[in-house]
C-alpha cells in the first residue's frame, strides 16, 4: 500500500545560494512519497532559472509576479496534490526523518497537526554541534487547540513562537481553515497556523526530530522596520488571533496572552511609530490584565526602564541608535 503523498511547498525570492542545498537535503528525506513545489516570487538574481534545472516528475517550479511569501504559498497549494503539506523556507533544513516520523505520528489522527522542536542557527557550521533548547513549555502534544495557542502567546508565562517548518499539516485542515492571508507581515505564519490549529482537534508533538531554522543578523525587526503597512498588518495579525480564540474560549489566561501580545508590539514600535504604539497600548489597557514589559537591552537600559518606565528606555535607546552613539 502506497504511503500518503506529502507536498513540500518552498517559496523563493532571490535565493540563489540556497536552492541546490535545499533540494539536495529534501532528496535525503527518508520519507519516499513526496512532491516538491518551488514557487519563485519574481526573483531577479537567476533563482528561477536555477530552480528550473531541478524539475522532474516530483519537483515543479512555478513563477509569479513579486507578491510576497503568503501568496507564493497559496500558489503552491494550488499545485499541491498531497494529503499532507510541509511548508519550508528555502534556507532552512529538516531532520532527515522529520516528514516520515510526523506522517507516522498522524496515522489515526487525521484531524490533528504534527509539530516538532526547532533549532536556531546562523551558519551551517553550527549544525555540526547544534544547540538544543528545551521547548517543552510551549511545544507539546495537546487535545485542546485553544489552550495550546493561549499558552504559546503568553497566557501562562513567557510568549513564544513556533517557526513555520516545524509543522506537518493534513491538507483538509488547511482547506477547512482557509489559505494564507495575502498580506506582507512577519506574523503571517502565526495568523495562518492559528486558524489551522483551531480547525484541528489537537496537536501531536513528535520528539527527536528538528526544524533547523536559520536566523539572520539583518532580519527585519518590528523595532527598526519603516514600512507602516507592514507594521499595521503585524498589529492586525494580533487582532485576528484574538478574534479567532474568542470564538473558542474566553478566560483569564487568554486575556493575559493577548495583553502580552499587544504590549510587546507597543513597546517594539515605540518611538519610531508612536501612533501605532499608542493604538496597541490602548488595546492592551482595555484588557485590564497586566503583562510584563519585555527586556529592552543591557543593564543601563533596563535600569532606565525600571526607574523611568519603558517609554523612556525605548526613547533613549532609539536616540542612541539613530545618533550611532
| b/e map 183-204, b = 16+ CB within 10 Å | bebbbbbbbbbbbbbbbbeebb
pLDDT bin (cut points 50, 70, 90) of residue 223 is low
pLDDT bin (cut points 50, 70, 90) of residue 317 is confident
Interval 161-180 mean pLDDT: 98
Interval 55-79 mean pLDDT: 97
Those residues with Cβ within 8 angstroms of residue 146's Cβ, 6 or more apart along the chain or in another chain: 198, 245, 248, 249, 254
Residue 221: is its pLDDT beyond 90? Answer: no
CA 12 to chain CA mean position, Å:
16
pLDDT at 27: 96
∠ CA 247-250-253 to the nearest 5 degrees? 130
User: Is the omega angle on the peptide bond into residue 271 within 30 degrees of 0, that is, cis?
Assistant: yes
315 burial class (0-12, 13-18, 19+ CB within 10 angstroms)?
middle
Cα–Cα distance for residue pair 100/59, rounded to 1 Å: 18
State what percent of residues in the chain have pLDDT above 70: 96
Coil/strand/helix, residue 181: coil
Domain boundaries, the chain: 6-214, 223-297, 298-325
pLDDT at 129: 87
Residue 219: is its pLDDT beyond 70? Answer: no
pLDDT bin (cut points 50, 70, 90) of residue 318 is confident
Residue-averaged pLDDT of the chain: 94
Interval 126-143 mean pLDDT: 93
Q: What is the DSSP string of 229-296?
A: HHHHHHHHHHHHHHHHHHTT---HHHHHHHHHHHHHHHHHHTTTTHHHHHHHHHHHHHTT---PPPP-
- Predicted structure pTM score: 0.94
Nearest-Å Rg of the Cα atoms of the chain is 20
Class at the top of the CATH hierarchy for domain 6-214 = alpha beta
pLDDT at 54: 98
CA 144 to chain CA mean position, Å:
20
State what percent of residues in the chain have pLDDT above 90: 87
Amino acid at each position: 500500500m502506497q504511503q500518503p503523498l506529502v507536498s513540500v511547498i518552498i517559496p523563493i525570492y532571490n535565493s540563489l545560494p540556497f536552492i541546490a542545498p535545499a533540494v539536495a537535503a529534501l532528496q535525503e528525506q527518508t520519507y519516499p512519497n513526496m512532491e516538491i513545489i518551488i514557487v519563485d516570487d519574481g526573483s531577479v538574481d537567476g533563482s528561477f532559472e536555477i530552480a528550473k534545472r531541478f524539475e522532474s516528475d516530483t519537483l515543479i517550479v512555478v513563477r509569479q509576479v513579486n507578491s510576497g511569501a503568503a501568496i507564493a504559498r497559496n500558489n503552491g497549494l494550488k499545485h499541491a496534490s498531497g494529503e499532507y503539506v510541509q511548508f519550508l523556507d528555502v534556507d532552512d533544513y529538516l531532520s532527515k526523518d522529520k516528514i516520515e516520523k510526523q506522517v507516522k505520528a498522524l496515522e489515526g489522527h487525521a484531524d490533528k497537526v504534527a509539530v516538532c522542536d526547532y533549532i536556531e542557527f546562523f551558519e551551517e557550521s553550527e549544525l555540526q554541534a547544534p544547540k538544543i533548547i528545551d521547548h517543552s513549555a510551549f511545544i507539546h502534544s495537546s487535545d485542546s487547540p485553544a489552550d495550546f495557542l493561549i499558552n504559546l502567546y503568553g497566557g501562562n508565562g513567557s510568549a513564544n513562537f513556533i517557526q513555520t517548518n516545524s509543522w506537518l499539516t493534513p491538507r483538509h485542515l488547511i482547506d477547512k481553515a482557509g489559505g494564507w492571508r495575502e498580506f506582507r507581515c512577519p506574523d503571517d505564519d502565526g495568523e495562518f497556523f492559528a486558524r489551522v490549529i483551531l480547525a484541528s482537534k489537537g496537536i501531536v508533538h513528535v520528539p527527536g526530530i528538528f526544524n533547523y531554522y536559520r536566523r539572520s543578523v539583518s532580519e527585519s525587526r518590528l523595532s527598526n522596520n519603516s514600512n507602516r503597512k507592514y507594521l499595521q498588518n503585524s498589529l492586525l495579525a494580533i487582532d485576528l488571533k484574538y478574534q479567532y480564540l474568542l470564538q473558542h474560549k474566553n478566560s483569564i489566561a487568554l486575556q493575559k496572552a493577548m495583553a502580552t501580545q499587544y504590549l510587546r508590539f507597543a513597546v517594539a514600535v515605540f518611538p519610531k511609530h508612536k501612533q501605532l504604539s499608542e493604538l496597541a497600548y490602548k488595546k492592551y489597557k482595555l484588557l485590564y490584565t497586566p503583562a510584563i514589559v519585555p527586556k529592552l537591552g543591557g543593564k543601563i537600559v533596563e535600569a532606565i526602564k525600571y526607574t523611568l518606565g519603558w517609554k523612556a528606555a525605548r526613547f533613549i535607546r532609539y536616540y542612541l541608535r539613530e545618533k550611532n552613539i
